[in-house]
Structure 1
Amino acid sequence: MTHDLDTLAERLRTGDRRALARAITLVESGRADHRAQATELLAKLADPRREALRIGLSGTPGVGKSTFIEAFGTRLTAQGLRVAVLAVDPSSARTGGSILGDKTRMERLSRDPRAFIRPSPSQSELGGVARRTREAVSLCEAAGFDVVLIETVGVGQSETLVAEMSDLFVLLIAPGGGDELQGVKRGIMETADLILVNKADGDMKSAATRTAADYAGALRLLRKRPQDPQGFPKALTVSAETDEGLDAAWSEMQALAEWRRAHGHWVARRAEQNARWFAEEVRQGLLARLREDPATREAMERLSRRVADGTLPPSAAAAQVLDQLPEASGR
């Protein structure tokens, strides 16, 4: 198996898209043996010199994210850049199924030899972001992609989770009036590096311009963040249908990324993200071990029934489970 992983790693480093797809399938698997192989593969591919610009992209359904990504990605590949799109579809909480239709919606980009599109179900993870998306990002970087677009549907906390694995976070919105501005959560506004008002064409162009002005005014009222140069975050208009504004948006993204690199924010942010991912992996691993231990699993099922019928508070039930765990030796 080690030989197979060596071959897979070698092919992936050359930019082989089939090898990349196979590697992502491996890291997305929940099987214990696959997780062990995925961990070994990621260790083999670790190379800080291979670094892509990670762009998180979110927005409510119907805002035109897929159309925007196809137009934007095609524009980047025309400049000679290699673009990977990791599109996280919302899984059904009941069945775990998801639509996974991004390749259908991005037909032109999916045929581009400089592009790679990977739809992944969120697998009921908090915020609609697949737990292994960050590992898929690392694989795309190892494969030599220049830009990785991480797209997710706007479902509350997903924006924050995408921002935590991105270098830049872009919020895509549709033209609207003041009521829409009132409905946008302050937390999302504070997270966004760039707000793009899509569909700025035809009859919607004037409405898009007004919406961008409204958001620009709102952004100026927010506390200035240390990771932003003068004038950021910004609100711009774009049209995925006519390509208008896409070059300007890309120029702003590059300018922001370059400024953060020059002023140390890029390295600090990546280091902070790595530390957060490490802590999250430890938490997930501990939960997995709890579920795998027969005695603990039986205790949790028994206590869960008491919690469900109201005879035991959840906090007291959790304390009983934790009290059964062996204490750390302190060594």
Structure 2
Amino acid sequence: MVLSNKKNHPSALHEKPGISPPEIISPIAVENIKKIRKVQPSSQELVGGILAGNITALSRAITLVESTNSNHLAKANEVINACLPHANKSVRIGVTGVPGVGKSTFIEAFGKYLTSLGKKVAVLAVDPSSTISHGSILGDKTRMEELVKDENAFIRPSASGETLGGVARKTRETITLCEAAGFDTIIIETVGVGQSETAVHSMVDFFLLLKISGAGDELQGIKRGIMEMADAIVINKADGDNIRKANLAKLEFNRALHLFPAKKSGWIPTTATCSAITHEGISDVWKTIEQFLELTKENNYFFEKRKEQNQYWMLETINEQLKLNFYNHPQIHQLLDSTKKAVQNDETSPFAAAKLLLEKYFKF
């Protein structure tokens, strides 16, 4: 018997030389992207794009407005001032509620219904920022996967940053840009932290509070004062076995609303149920908003409230700018560390230290 020579047979683990894979990223494409990014559009080009309904120009302008870079401030103001004459032609709706109430799902169903009526909808979704990393997920476009594909809808997630109540610092200016771009319905979704909803209430025409049945937050809602600001309370997730509970919650909230004084608008807040999954009751929410708009425009409250809001945001902008100027002042920046240490070591009181810093700031 002749034994085979194992040396003539390659190992089962033998690998034949293959073809080198091509480069994943094209160097030409990289250079083209770099050239495009280097070219920053002028304020006139951005305004022209916004008025023409160009979403790319709108997005770039919003990024410019949200920038904390002081060099971008003048350009952002030019864009806002140029867009202002073309704004104020939309309905502004604020949507709030505790986390898990289904705000994003509701807004998607509501937004799709509005676009089916021929409306142009802009959703300004505010995402919570981490107090540790200061980052935000900004995943609202992922959660509104149907609405984001609608050509008559625009979704812009923004980080809440350190803003109390979950409203981004520049949301008010973003509304102006979206209105100038032709969006006639602006929906603002808050974080829903339940701390302070005054900010969103002061920039919208209609304030919608989403609730869920069985959460046991009826009294908490009254304590926070959110219900007092609400123009309508909608019990979401009224589907399946939850319909009966949702109807009971509707009655409870309806009773709670009678505890509050009458609104200046003359509007009596309503309660309703809906399901963002089955779309049951979604159309009724819009009918309620239409009734509110009809009433408040007839008695002129709608226009008076807009004037008050403009005044409010002027004062808020002044406060914000004074705060930025104070902390960015070079001399104050130097004194702040030593003053902090003095306060920590009980060498001076926080109030006396604050007074000293302010007095020095006004002398500079």
The two structures have a TM-score, normalised by structure 1, of 0.94
How far 1:239 sits from its partner (Å)?
0.6
Q: Are residues 1:326 and 2:362 paired?
A: yes
Residue equivalent to 1:214: 252
Residue equivalent to 1:182: 219
Partner SS for 2:208: strand
The AA in structure 1 aligned to 2:198 is T
Q: Are residues 1:69 and 2:112 paired?
A: no
Residue equivalent to 2:289: 253
Does the 8 Å contact 2:87/2:176 carry over to 1? no
The alignment of Structure 1 onto Structure 2 pairs a total of residues equal to 325
How far 1:149 sits from its partner (Å)?
0.4
Distance 2:142 2:78 in 1: 33
The AA in structure 2 aligned to 1:291 is Y
How far 1:15 sits from its partner (Å)?
1.4
The AA in structure 2 aligned to 1:165 is M
Moved more, 287-296 or 113-122: 287-296
Does the 8 Å contact 1:129/1:158 carry over to 2? no
Does the 8 Å contact 2:86/2:180 carry over to 1? no
Moved more, 140-149 or 185-194: 185-194
Q: Once the two structures are superposed, what CA deviation does each residue of 1:3-42 show, in whole Å capped at 9, x if it has no partner?
A: 8211110110121111111111010000011111111110
Distance 1:5 1:164 in 2: 28
Residue equivalent to 1:98: 136
- Equivalent positions of 1:1-331 (< 5 A) are 4-47=42-85, 50-176=88-214, 179-186=216-223, 187-229=225-267, 232-326=268-362
How far 1:2 sits from its partner (Å)?
11
How far 1:309 sits from its partner (Å)?
3.0
Does the 8 Å contact 1:57/1:149 carry over to 2? yes
Does the 8 Å contact 1:123/1:130 carry over to 2? yes
Moved more, 116-125 or 149-158: 149-158
Distance 1:110 1:158 in 2: 29
Partner SS for 2:161: coil
Moved over 3 A (4+): none
Q: Once the two structures are superposed, what CA deviation does each residue of 1:92-111 show, in whole Å capped at 9, x if it has no partner?
A: 11221011110000000000
The AA in structure 1 aligned to 2:121 is V
Does the 8 Å contact 1:92/1:124 carry over to 2? no
The AA in structure 2 aligned to 1:99 is I
Does the 8 Å contact 2:104/2:144 carry over to 1? yes
Distance 2:134 2:40 in 1: 32
How far 1:50 sits from its partner (Å)?
4.2
Q: Which has the larger radius of gyration?
A: 2
Q: Once the two structures are superposed, what CA deviation does each residue of 1:152-191 show, in whole Å capped at 9, x if it has no partner?
A: 12113342211111111101011126x3312223411111
Distance 2:87 2:203 in 1: 18
Distance 2:202 2:239 in 1: 32
Q: Once the two structures are superposed, what CA deviation does each residue of 1:127-147 show, in whole Å capped at 9, x if it has no partner?
A: 221110111111111111011
How far 1:226 sits from its partner (Å)?
1.6
CA shift in 2, pair 1:319/1:50, >3 Å: closer
Does the 8 Å contact 1:228/1:256 carry over to 2? no
Does the 8 Å contact 2:235/2:272 carry over to 1? yes
Unmatched segments (≥5 aa) in structure 1: none
CA shift in 2, pair 1:3/1:189, >3 Å: closer
The AA in structure 2 aligned to 1:180 is D
CA shift in 2, pair 1:146/1:61, >3 Å: same
Distance 1:279 1:120 in 2: 23
CA shift in 2, pair 1:99/1:185, >3 Å: farther
Does the 8 Å contact 2:126/2:159 carry over to 1? yes
Q: Percent identity?
A: 43
How far 1:326 sits from its partner (Å)?
3.1
